[in-house]
A = this chain, B = another copy of it.
């Protein structure tokens, strides 16, 4: 604590974060964050990645954390910058991804005036953060930052937002603070273990999420348990990350469409939850339930969100004398020359995925067949949209590439969703991120059309105008080139497979507009 000469609050935060293992800063700074820009510059301790829009910054931080297991720090500019960042904070929060946001505010003495950028930063942070604090003094600022990091790294991981009034950062008196203590798991409940072991039969579903899905051995053990007992294994519809592919045990997910979800879960009288909560419908629909398990289903938690799911699974396997099981699966046939459809794009991706790839999935309706098709693809990590706030994919791909520079990233991106944070392509080009983006160009908010038809509407021109993206056409090749990313358009499924494989093996970003 005494090794540094006098420093300002901002420098004490940068040094403390670095000391605690935070080595990347995703930033879209403004005037009130210039002391951080200066401290990052002078210390040279972190890799700084600029986003041209704040949703890029938090989406990238989310993708980074999902792959690195530790958070980056973000740098955001007052309440409007924070609000631009919030949709992807929401997604990170729903993913239970660790995130640490540093948001500048006016100097304390300036906040009482109605300056143009004055607004309620803490109020804006609250709905999208699990932890919010405003720094009050340079000498406690780094300690606040370590508290924020501790909150982000707690079990389950959380979104922590520390608000930094400009003068707290620029005033001298900063004191470097020690890293937060490592978090503990909630202990395994032996009674719950016994109860779960006694519940397993063909009318029981094991619902597993969180860290379990990142450990293929734990999933394989689950399948052994299922094989031994007749129980079924399912994962939630959306997850922070899943490590899967050839030689690993796969897992089925609760389907997104409400009727399919209800049908999938209807047979079960008992549910055992491991690092997840009871599944809920994405939206409410007239005459349909919000909770997806049957009302009469007996639900018990073996390991909560704060528990150690893989350890619980190991204990359960021991109890029922099950061992790992990896069912053999095969790739679908390569697509023949022909139209790009949900089925052929899925087959193309399954064959094109390079070894050890990171798949970022924001493919929405066009990607419905990919999860199943890629079960036997080369081993990969799969990270996907979790909170339903579209515009997470291109930034997450950037962040994943920063976290894992030696792994190819394949970013599966619906066209409508792509436009929310399209600016992330520029950061991919600047960072020479190894990302192959595949745009699923169906030129519509297809999923909304389905929803509109589902509520029985008979849409006319005016409704379709709010759901179609075909007037004018979005030209993603031009958009990508405009931000320094080479790109091409492809209309044939077989060519698509070759193009993805080629691009994924080349360094740097590339974009393929797949015309569906």
A-side residues, CB < 8 A to B, are: 27, 29-32, 34-35, 37-38, 40-42, 44, 48, 50, 52-53, 55, 79-81, 83-84, 86-87, 90-91, 94, 106-107, 109-110, 113-117, 119-121, 123-124, 126-128, 166-167, 170, 237-238, 277, 280-284, 286, 290-291, 386-389, 391, 416, 419-420, 422-423, 426, 429-430, 447-448, 451-452, 455, 457, 459-463, 465-467, 469, 471-479, 481-484
Contacts and interface: CB of A to CB of B under 8 A. Distances in A.
Contacts of A386: 116
Contacts of A55: 84
A220 to B, nearest CB: 28
Contact of A38 (B419, B422, B459, B461): B459
Contacts of A38: 452, 455, 457, 459, 463
A478 B486 CA distance: 12
A48 B453 CA distance: 19
Contacts of A430: 471-472
Nearest to A291: B113
A452 B37 CA distance: 9
A420 B280 CA distance: 34
Contacts of A476: 482
A215 B424 CA distance: 43
Which of A34, A94, A282 has the largest number of chain B CB atoms within 10 A?
Answer: A34
Contacts of A467: 37
A84 B107 CA distance: 25
A472 B455 contact: no
B284 A106 contact: yes
A466 B31 CA distance: 12
Contact of A466 (B50, B466, B471): B50
